[in-house]
Chain A
Amino acid sequence: MLLKRDLGGTLLLALLGIAILVVPVLNLAVPESSSLHLSTYTVTLLGKYLTYALLAIALDLIWGYCGIMSLGHSAFFALGGYAMGMYLMRAIGPRGVYGDPVLPDFMVFLNWKELPWYWYGFDQFWFAALMVMLAPGLLALVFGWLAFRSRVTGVYLSIITQALTYALMLAFFRNDMGFGGNNGLTDFKTLLGFDVHADSTRAGLFVVSALALALGYVACRAVVSSKLGRVVVAIRDAEDRTRFLGYRVELFKLWVFVLSAVLAGIAGALYVPQVGIINPSEFSPLNSIEVVIWVSVGGRATLYGAVAGAGLVNYAKTYLTGALPEVWLFALGGLFVLVTVFLPRGLVGLFRGRKEPP
């Protein structure tokens, strides 16, 4: 019912369904000698793209539909990632280099005697999973409440979101914050008892990422198809009109912003065990800008366009940073300019004919 008249979304979910069935088989069951074999490297790369796609959907929800160009979404992504990283660190247990049963290696190295209070509970997966959503969600709630209540909009809002992620990056770089300083959290061993380096775990993470993307898509589609979604678009297009119709605009913005942050956090949490590290560079404002580029390349306010943009741009990035590393940033900038000027509705706009997104 939700997917009625949502061709792009139907296609996306079908592709994800096929990938969930086929990718693990090609990786685990097809022998390496076969040309159909999919290497674990590729599976992990695809899994990483899926988490980026979820992050892109989160941004599209707040930017494409609500008109808030957040340049701070990498902060929510990284916070989700750190929450997962903290679990993975504590799951190492006594297997670390220093063999301390409780303290992660970097704390032993810094001569810390006790676990900081905010690391409590992260030995439990359920607690970490909760924090994956709560930490970005609460930050978005507090930040959004302050910003939306004082009616900060447009460029100013973008700038303060960027300042937010920049400030967090600087904070996480500090060793005394207790998050591993500039090395971040790494050398993970197991996730829920599974070896994080094992092929089967990687395939499992791919499947979970694909499921998360599918669920994230359906959830966002449900939101934007509801009356709440129409209110949000109304706010984007004529904020005052919406307010004078009796809607408390700041609360609607806040709701969508928090949902978007939680989705970004989940994306970050799935990203970390696949890439094997989380460090403060994930907070970098540049990362947030890249997300904006994915969404505008794919096409705003369609959700599946964000997925397409994230996939294509990251594929290009993987290819170019391998083949011509010095060209990548120029290519990215050029792509953004070209899309902005010639394809204001993004790549999916090419296929949608005259039908405009809401």
Chain B
Amino acid sequence: MQFEPQRPRKPVRRIDLMTYGFGSASEPAPDASSAPILYIEDITVSFDGFKALDGLSLYVDDGELRCIIGPNGAGKTTMMDVITGKTRPDQGTAFFARSVDLLSLSEPEIAQAGIGRKFQVPTVFEHQSVFENLELALYTNKAVWPSLFARLNGAERDRIEEVLAIIGLTESRYSRAGVLSHGQKQWLEIGMLLMQSPRLLLLDEPVAGMTHEETEHTAELLLSLAGRHTIIVVEHDMEFVRSIGRRVTVLHEGRMLAEGRMQEVQNHPKVIEVYLGA
């Protein structure tokens, strides 16, 4: 990792995080002892005979912040595709919040059921303003006719302002999303997920292309969101995963290789062999 001179952190953002009501970033998330909010069992996905996922099972507790790591092609993105309805598995089951059968719902239905997803390549609506991007994401009736007559009410505007502050884009609210830096786009996309008020957030490589400082802010944000939301983060940046320091799942060739604290996983011989040792 590269060392950068540590600039003092802008105090504004800290205050914003606290007023948002997620508590201080250093506070551990409430221990989730409830049943899994995400329940994936024995999922297999094959592309022309090649198994991208091979009997994968994964259970994530309500309020948990889970990191998923694994070498390129391990099936991390494919797993998110299955959860969000983009890819239908050949076999297996996937349930959300006990009763929602993810395999029978379409992508928009899954999104409206409370699962938000950030893509591996940051994807925002480049030709629309930052504010409009968040407005589009806002959790509301998203059918065609209601959209034609939709007007933002006061509470909804406040919510957008709130999220703008959380993602540090208050000053850019009227800029086109296309002119944002790579890191800002990542943040905007995370902000869009927050607007959806999801119970489960899936983040595919959220700190890719971010500066060291931006990465730190992101870790801080995710820690502050855990507890309220369940979060699954796929990342290659080990420093980032370590700084989050929660439960880590290692995928390899479409299967789960190991699961546990970063410390345990790191010392797992198989993991060293296929991934960290490489």
**Chain A contacts to B: CB under 8 angstroms:** 223, 226-228, 230-231, 233-234, 237-238, 240-249, 251-252, 255, 356-358
Contacts and interface: CB of A to CB of B under 8 A. Distances in A.
A251 B128 CA distance: 21
Contacts of A251: 143-144
Contacts of A249: 108
Given A244-B107, A245-B196, A246-B142, A228 B148 contact: yes
Contacts of A245: 108, 111, 136-137, 142, 192, 196
Interface in B121-139: 123-128, 132, 135-137, 139
A240 B148 contact: no
Contacts of A223: 148
Contacts of B255: none
Contacts of A248: 106, 108, 142-144
Contacts of B149: 226
Interface of B: 84, 86, 106-108, 111-112, 116-117, 119, 123-128, 132, 135-137, 139, 142-144, 147-150, 176, 192, 196
A263 B144 CA distance: 19
B120 to A, nearest CB: 12
Contacts of B132: 230
A233 B125 contact: yes
Nearest to B114: A246
A247 to B, nearest CB: 5
25 contacts: A223-B148, A226-B147, A226-B150, A227-B147, A227-B148, A227-B150, A228-B144, A228-B147, A230-B132, A233-B128, A234-B136, A238-B123, A238-B126, A243-B107, A243-B111, A244-B108, A245-B136, A245-B142, A246-B111, A246-B139, A246-B142, A248-B142, A248-B143, A248-B144, A356-B127
B139 to A, nearest CB: 8
Closest CB pairs A-B (n = 9): A246-B111, A228-B147, A227-B150, A228-B148, A246-B112, A241-B123, A243-B107, A234-B125, A246-B142
B191 to A, nearest CB: 12
Nearest to A243: B107
Interface of chain A: mostly helix, strand, loop or mixed: helix
B119 A241 contact: yes
Contacts of B126: 237-238
A244 B136 contact: no
B135 A230 contact: yes
B147 A231 contact: yes
Nearest to B111: A246
A226 B150 CA distance: 7
A213 B135 CA distance: 31
A241 B136 CA distance: 11
A246 B148 contact: no
A18 to B, nearest CB: 31
A241 B196 CA distance: 13
B231 to A, nearest CB: 16
Residue among A226, A234, A244, A248 with most chain B CB within 10 A:
A244
A151 to B, nearest CB: 11
A242 B127 CA distance: 14
A248 B107 CA distance: 8
A227 B135 contact: yes
B84 A230 contact: no
Contacts of B116: 244
B108 A231 contact: no
Nearest to B151: A227
Given A226-B149, A230-B128, A358-B127, A244 B144 contact: no
Given A226-B149, A252-B144, A358-B127, 19 more contacts: A223-B148, A226-B147, A227-B150, A228-B147, A230-B128, A234-B125, A237-B127, A237-B128, A238-B124, A241-B124, A244-B108, A244-B111, A245-B111, A245-B192, A245-B196, A246-B108, A248-B106, A248-B143, A248-B144
Contacts of A255: 144
Contacts of A226: 147-150
A356 B132 CA distance: 15
Nearest to A246: B111
Contacts of A238: 123-126
Contacts of A356: 127, 176
A237 B136 CA distance: 13
Nearest to B117: A244
Contacts of B119: 240-241, 244
Contacts of B135: 227, 230
B128 A243 contact: no
Contacts of B137: 245
A77 B111 CA distance: 38
A177 to B, nearest CB: 34
Contacts of A247: 108, 142, 147
Nearest to A241: B123
Contacts of B150: 226-228
A64 to B, nearest CB: 11
A247 B128 CA distance: 17
Contacts of B136: 227, 230-231, 234, 242, 245
Contacts of A233: 125, 127-128
A248 B144 CA distance: 8
B84 A234 contact: no
A244 B127 CA distance: 18
Residue picked from B123, B139, B192, most chain A C-beta under 10 Å = B123
A255 B144 CA distance: 8
Given A244-B117, A246-B196, A234 B128 contact: yes
Of the listed residues B84, B106, B111, the one surrounded by the most CB atoms of chain A closer than 10 A to its CB is B111
